[in-house]
């Protein structure tokens, strides 16, 4: 069963492409203020309906493999909007109890204790880094506060595996945070686990066959980008090093599908990244994917598909900043994957 992570996004002027459900054939998008028309983009990419609230540095989580929640961020720190990959449409969900940017989010579903399912949001910046955490009951649409993280953290990543959510990487403003936190949704308690070997913030993270894989990120600065790929093994409480991504970058998004990690976007002082790089665990090697049509950083990224409503897989890239810093856009795009 696939799980989603929470990641980040920035935004600029919105475009008005009509909704396109995931799994429909690619089609050209209209020209936008963020760059040339996406009709010239590789055919594997498709334009989706714009997110209603342009923003960046969001958290994102996918629930039941076809509903993506985009949470907080610059431009809407308490805003929560949900994308339905079956219908291709957005709707608004109850606001977060506390507005944040750079939060971490993951969804838990398909477990025996259905009362613990939902969308979880951890930390972020609310002026300064916070440890406050929340759960959205998807059935009622209501938020509740859960036990805070052991310490404040923002700009990290969250990955759910069954009933456990792992918080990795991140910072508290001026200091990187290295311990790995585990939240058990059934006991509602926290544990502190082995530290990530390469501390960093603005990283991507995915679940890959029972491992928590942290990729890219930076050491607090746009001039200190990393390509490091390290995976945490929960059963052994240890980390292992894998091949570095070819392009060091922070402010990235990532998702996993069919044994592959998709590393997308990011920023450096001179601009944002269009590169899409794909790690295949079967070969242990990286390859180049189709360029992101609208290069940006701070994106919300999620893998959807494998359901009756969305039989094919797709990597969604939602909102994000087309220029380094605090820019915001409503652009949303999908990369079809097999």
User: What is the pLDDT confidence band of residue 17, given thresholds at 50, 70 and 90?
Assistant: very low
Task: Report pLDDT for 309.
Answer: 82
Average pLDDT over residues 100-110: 97
User: What is the pLDDT confidence band of residue 227, given thresholds at 50, 70 and 90?
Assistant: very high
Q: 230-239 pLDDT, tens per residue?
A: 999 999 999 9
Cα 224 to Cα 213: distance, rounded to the nearest angstrom: 20
Residue 297 has pLDDT above 60, yes or no: yes
Residue 30 or residue 176, greater confidence: 176
Residue 138 has pLDDT above 80, yes or no: yes
User: What is the pLDDT confidence band of residue 38, given thresholds at 50, 70 and 90?
Assistant: very low
Task: Report pLDDT for 30.
Answer: 29
- With 0.85 as the threshold, say if the pTM is over it: yes
Q: 147-201 pLDDT, tens per residue?
A: 999 999 999 999 999 999 999 999 999 999 999 999 999 999 999 999 999 999 9
Task: Report pLDDT for 187.
Answer: 96
Residue 130 has pLDDT above 70, yes or no: yes
User: What is the pLDDT confidence band of residue 115, given thresholds at 50, 70 and 90?
Assistant: confident
- CATH architecture assignment, domain 5-25+48-337: 6 Propeller (2.120)
Domain boundaries, the chain: 5-25+48-337
Question: In the predicted model, what is the mean pLDDT of the chain?
Answer: 89
């Amino acid at each position: 069963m696939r799980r989603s992570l929470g990641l980040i996004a920035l935004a600029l002027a919105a475009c008005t492409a009509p909704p396109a459900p995931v799994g429909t054939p690619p089609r050209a998008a209209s020209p936008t203020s963020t760059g040339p028309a996406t009709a010239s983009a590789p055919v594997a990419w498709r334009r989706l309906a714009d997110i209603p609230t342009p923003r960046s540095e969001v958290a994102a989580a996918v629930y039941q493999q076809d509903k993506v929640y985009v949470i907080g961020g610059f431009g809407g720190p308490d805003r929560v909007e949900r994308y339905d990959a079956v219908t291709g449409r957005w709707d608004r969900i109850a606001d977060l109890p506390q507005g944040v940017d750079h939060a971490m989010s993951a969804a838990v579903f398909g477990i025996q204790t259905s009362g613990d399912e939902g969308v979880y949001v951890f930390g972020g910046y609310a002026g300064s880094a916070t440890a406050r955490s929340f759960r959205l009951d998807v059935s009622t649409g209501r938020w509740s506060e859960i036990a805070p993280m052991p310490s404040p953290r923002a700009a990290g990543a969250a990955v759910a595996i069954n009933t456990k959510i792992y918080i990795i990487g991140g910072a508290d403003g001026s200091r990187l945070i290295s311990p790995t936190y585990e939240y058990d949704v059934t006991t509602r308690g926290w544990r502190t686990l082995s530290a990530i070997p390469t501390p960093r913030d603005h990283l991507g993270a995915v679940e890959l066959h029972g491992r928590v894989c942290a990729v890219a990120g930076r050491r607090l600065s746009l001039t200190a980008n990393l390509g490091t790929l390290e995976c945490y093994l929960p059963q052994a409480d240890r980390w292992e090093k894998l091949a570095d991504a070819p392009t060091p970058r922070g402010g990235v998004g990532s998702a996993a599908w069919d044994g592959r990690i998709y590393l997308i976007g990011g920023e450096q002082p001179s601009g944002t990244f269009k590169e899409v790089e794909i790690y295949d665990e079967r070969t242990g090697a990286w390859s180049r994917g189709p360029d992101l049509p609208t290069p940006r950083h701070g994106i919300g990224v999620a893998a959807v598909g494998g359901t009756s409503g969305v039989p094919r897989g797709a990597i969604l890239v939602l909102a994000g900043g087309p220029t380094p810093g605090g820019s915001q856009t409503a652009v949303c795009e999908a990369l079809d994957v097999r």
